[in-house]
Amino acid sequence: MDENKLSFTEILQANSINLASTSNLSVIEISSALLFSLVCSLIIAWTYKSTFQGVLYQHSYVVSLILASVITSSVIMVISGNLILSLGMVGALSIVRFRSAIKDPLDIIFMFWAITVGIANGIGMIKVSIICTLLISLVCFILYKIPKAVEPQVLVVKFNKANIDNIMKVVKNNSLNNKLISHTSTLDAGEVVYKLRPKNNDTLLKEIKSIEGINEASLLMY
């Protein structure tokens, strides 16, 4: 066997000798890593909150982004440069199971971003973490400002002896395009269903409900 090659046992012994290497970090270095992780994660959380376009905003997820970055920095400083601690941490984290489903792919991206910043600060690459955080945040805001296509929705209107022509007029004036899906009526009541792309949801519903004889109007995701 080549004398220059180390066996796995020798590697473990070398790491055992250097087990206390993480204690060589000064209080200032530890504090700086945690502080910059906190600052960067606050920027990430603010970016997430400002550009959120999902259905249900959760404050607990924003708190998780901040804590994930700071905790990751702490873990990286503990296991940095030590194989034994690294393997032990992998074994400990392997029992963790996340049972809450991620509904928006962007939530995964923001969490990965927060963890990456925590890793960078944990190994002392503070400049990298700050520059990346600012640049990615800027990209998020640029993408947020780009107009996106209006998603089609379903308008359901229930009426009582209302003029159907008035409903059609309001729908035409307040939508980019529309299509009548169904129209049912009796002597006393009726219902129309449109598939449309509204210009403004609130304005459309307000004008529909202002028509005399309208009982109910609602917009549903298509």
Specify the DSSP class assigned to residue 24.
G
Over residues 199-216, the pLDDT tens digits come to 888 888 888 888 888 888
Average pLDDT in the chain: 79
Q: Calculate helix-pair angle for 59-79, 105-122, nearest 10 degrees.
A: 30
Each residue of 48-74: b (16+ CB within 10 Å) or e?
Answer: beeebeeeeeeeebbebbbebbbbbbb
Phi, psi dihedral angles at 184 (to 5 degrees): -120, 140
Over residues 79-107, the pLDDT tens digits come to 775 655 555 555 555 555 555 566 678 88
The count of other CB atoms within 10 Å of the CB of residue 118 is 28
Per-domain residue ranges for the chain?
Answer: 8-145, 153-221
State how far Cα 119 lies from the chain centre.
20
Topology given in CATH for the domain delimited by 153-221: Alpha-Beta Plaits (3.30.70)
Q: Residue 111 carries which side chain, given as an amino acid letter?
A: M
Strand partners of residue 221 = 153
Strand partners of residue 154 = 195, 220
Is 90 exceeded by the pLDDT of residue 132?
yes
Question: How much is the pTM?
Answer: 0.59
